[in-house]
Structure 1
């Protein structure tokens, strides 16, 4: 393990360069999610190329979320970038590097006021691509608050069981509150099942989830202190930290320290028995053709004041060459306790590497290797199909290729292979898609996909086709899709065939008010009907 680990560190680390550039942003929103693709709606896709990356933005942070596989004049379809999990209604950003104009000598210009747009209702992102630089010079402190309040219902309807879940969300990012040096970040949800209020009374934390609740104070332009629950994007694997976080920047280097506790494993509440502390250093660089960020950290985690885990963390992201993008993260444990005999021992426990290469303007290639542990969700609204595909293709070797032979036509294929020495958890996956971003005369897009999965206990075949169209100058967006699913359970010699149809509508009633509707019906080979109905109203401020 020693030499592969050294080789990986050398591969991911690279020299930083400098250039006078500016970043041009184009913002869109996720309109639909399938098991393999993400659909994003823009005002215009001018400047977006096949193979480009769309990012989730959180404050000054940018996280890779989707690789564009096809596009039309106002929408993109792409492949999600692990470990990110896009959500419907989430705002994604396309970043394009352009040459910066040299200003004439004169007084310092006033910064442009940011447009208040909604923060997404989703779990905080895990992978960071830019450092969060404190900016608090006295002459540029100006309050900027943006947020979102939403109410959503999730209903499952069948002949044997019907349940209705409600979810209330409040999220807010406040910069320089009251024109002071204080900023805040809040993301809270409350969910419950109708007629099951006892579950809430027994433990309020079963319903209440505080994913972020923190306040930050900027001492100056280079140092800041945060207090509360917050995910540090430079220590993505640590997750939320209940405590204090300090960060100081010096040039392109950022130094930081964290002290606090981990949320409880069972219900995400505060748990002072799970103490943790750590330090990290990060190197950032803006390049002519992109950016680079490298972070290393040392984390100590406790359980009832006894060492639970001690490990090194490494993360690198950025452009390796003009046409090559690399992202990698790893964890190497330094501590183990065998039969009550603690000792120091270096072992690689988590590893993820992804390389994307833009071979030509029409051809993009992506290869990744994932050896991370399974993700724990405290709440999820994924379908069984999407959860199955995610679970069985999460780890292993993955290869994807996308090709755009004509202006409005694109195709792609991918395969993944999860393997172990004893073949105990074997998984093979093959998927592909064909998309037309603009169908003549009807001005709609269509995408057909196929997915074949083979595991030790299950073989599945999934075929679907989707149609999307905008109405009233993109104020109303509609999607219609059909799926055919075939499950073959090996251990039980049991086969299941399903036919699925769904429709979704998203309406922008005003600039700050949106409405979402989704319905899906599933019919199996025994003529049993299952339905899902979701509605959501969102108010931005």
Structure 2
């Protein structure tokens, strides 16, 4: 947890200043793509064709029944875009991304070419939920799903081998048999080899239900969700086990929620954690993007006692050309003081970000993050990635992206964070250089450097990543090397590592993928190996 921020009315008013409602409509069509790979600040999005997409264009995600600005294109090939994120949005592989289509002359249309499936490295970058249908007509039945079988193995010369297996299933069924009933689910089951007794002892340690819900549409503007679901209008609240009712009118929406929170320890059902609340919001397309605001009030209980009472606000604004703003904050309205309940007004979570594109070659992003720490129920990060993530998430951060010539992208970022409990501030400096089309071999090369100072270590990480299609549309390969040097300030100990990684991904057909990822970490005389295998079937 992070320390609380003293309440300042002027600060709240400044945030609310961004929340003006701006008129304007536009009729556009959107093409669909998916996130194929995430590396540092770089997010790769694949399309059937990138014809009409230019460097500096904004890509969108579909939330709150609207297209929300999410990514800025830094470079594109015939079927893929290299992007950086806007605001505090997080992404995972296979997320749906949308591009606002432009009218193209027939000579500019590029034949559809399939792209490789890239391996899933972190399954909990955010909780996975099914995506709302987008361009589907009302009462038109539709079904989509994914089944993934994966294994994750650790081998080393200093400890016993570990083999973990993971099975996931996600699906979205819209307007079943032409009715008003829809359903969504995302479920994973994980266990270790020869440790079935652990599963029997507590099934919830192995079984994670991130989404399992039914939806009924009474009218085009009135809907009811029943089950476990994250509501995109109040995503910060997390998953809710219960009932969610929503009514849309013109560009406004309102809803009420009642149910319980998942258990803190194993993400199972815990009906002692009762909660209820309401939200209200507005979303409108404008000339250069969208303006969206939502305000929610919630009360959360624990075994009948008030645990927390708070208000949550989030706002996205791209009304000004080339400028994207995002803000979210939470204000606690209740606390116990000397075991006595007391109404209060305390700003406990705040995030602000702005991204401005000066030209097709240059963009600047800045953010302030004072939100609570994230809890990951499942993650495959190694220790180096975990330290980098923890050091760079909170505090003040600035990032610059520059494209001096075609195919070359330079990105640099710096951040700092200071807590009253930290003996010294955390500082980070990161840099990336990507040449997306190396002459002669038609491959992509990325060089990276990360320097950090935290409360307990000084560290530096340098890396190089080379990726290439060995067989166009079928076989993809990637080589990645990193050198790690961590020095702990309160002791004479240090950590020096050489990390090598190799990926191969093969696409059998449109719906069937297989990937292999191998990572070796050399640390003095110790060697740690990780093998990740994944088989995915789309329905």
What's the TM-score once normalised by structure 1's chain length? Answer: 0.89
Counterpart of 2:49 (choices 34, 44, 48) is 44
Deviation string 1:50-90 (CA, Å, 9 cap, x unpaired) is 44454555795766665444433333333455654433x42
C-alpha deviation, 1:297, in angstroms:
0.8
Residue of structure 2 equivalent to 1:374: 373
Structure 1 residues 181 and 422: CA distance shift in structure 2, 3 A: closer
Aligned residues: 516
C-alpha deviation, 1:475, in angstroms:
1.9
Structure 1 residues 13 and 126: CA distance shift in structure 2, 3 A: farther
SS in 1 for 2:11: helix
Deviation string 1:234-269 (CA, Å, 9 cap, x unpaired) is 111110000000000110010100010001101111
CA distance in 1, matches of 2:297, 2:218: 25
Structure 1 residues 135 and 436: CA distance shift in structure 2, 3 A: closer
CA distance in 2, matches of 1:390, 1:157: 24
1:24 aligns with 2:24: no
Unaligned ranges ≥5, structure 1: 100-116
Counterpart of 1:11 (choices 17, 24, 30) is 17
CA distance in 1, matches of 2:46, 2:348: 38
Unaligned ranges ≥5, structure 2: 1-6, 104-116
CA contact (8 A) 1:136 1:181 kept: no
Residue of structure 2 equivalent to 1:90: 94
Residue of structure 2 equivalent to 1:495: 494
CA contact (8 A) 2:66 2:283 kept: no
C-alpha deviation, 1:382, in angstroms:
1.5
CA distance in 1, matches of 2:149, 2:50: 30
CA contact (8 A) 1:295 1:315 kept: yes
Structure 1 window deviating more from structure 2 (40-49 vs 283-292): it is: 40-49
CA contact (8 A) 1:14 1:320 kept: no
SS in 1 for 2:480: strand
CA contact (8 A) 2:227 2:241 kept: yes
Residue of structure 1 equivalent to 2:218: 219
CA contact (8 A) 2:313 2:328 kept: yes
SS in 2 for 1:439: coil
Q: What do you get for the CA RMSD once the two structures are aligned?
A: 2.7
Residue of structure 1 equivalent to 2:351: 352
C-alpha deviation, 1:498, in angstroms:
1.2
Structure 1 window deviating more from structure 2 (292-301 vs 34-43): it is: 34-43
Residue of structure 2 equivalent to 1:112: none
SS in 1 for 2:28: strand
Structure 1 residues 8 and 52: CA distance shift in structure 2, 3 A: farther
Structure 1 window deviating more from structure 2 (414-423 vs 505-514): it is: 414-423
Deviation string 1:437-468 (CA, Å, 9 cap, x unpaired) is 11112111111011101112111111111111
What's the TM-score once normalised by structure 2's chain length? Answer: 0.90
Structure 1 residues 380 and 136: CA distance shift in structure 2, 3 A: closer
Deviation string 1:193-251 (CA, Å, 9 cap, x unpaired) is 11111211110000000000000000011100110000001111110000000000110
SS in 1 for 2:403: strand
Structure 1 residues 315 and 179: CA distance shift in structure 2, 3 A: same
Residue of structure 2 equivalent to 1:114: none
CA distance in 2, matches of 1:156, 1:299: 43
Q: 1:149-168 maps to which residues of 2 (within 5 A)? A: 149-161=147-159, 162-168=161-167
Residue of structure 2 equivalent to 1:73: 78
CA contact (8 A) 1:21 1:98 kept: no
CA distance in 2, matches of 1:98, 1:344: 53
Q: 1:473-488 maps to which residues of 2 (within 5 A)? A: 473-488=472-487
Structure 1 window deviating more from structure 2 (48-57 vs 158-167): it is: 48-57
Q: 1:104-503 maps to which residues of 2 (within 5 A)? A: 122=123, 140-161=138-159, 162-421=161-420, 423-424=422-423, 426-503=425-502
CA distance in 2, matches of 1:198, 1:390: 33
CA contact (8 A) 2:241 2:261 kept: yes
CA distance in 1, matches of 2:504, 2:407: 24
CA distance in 1, matches of 2:164, 2:34: 28
CA distance in 1, matches of 2:269, 2:292: 31
SS in 2 for 1:22: coil
C-alpha deviation, 1:165, in angstroms:
0.4
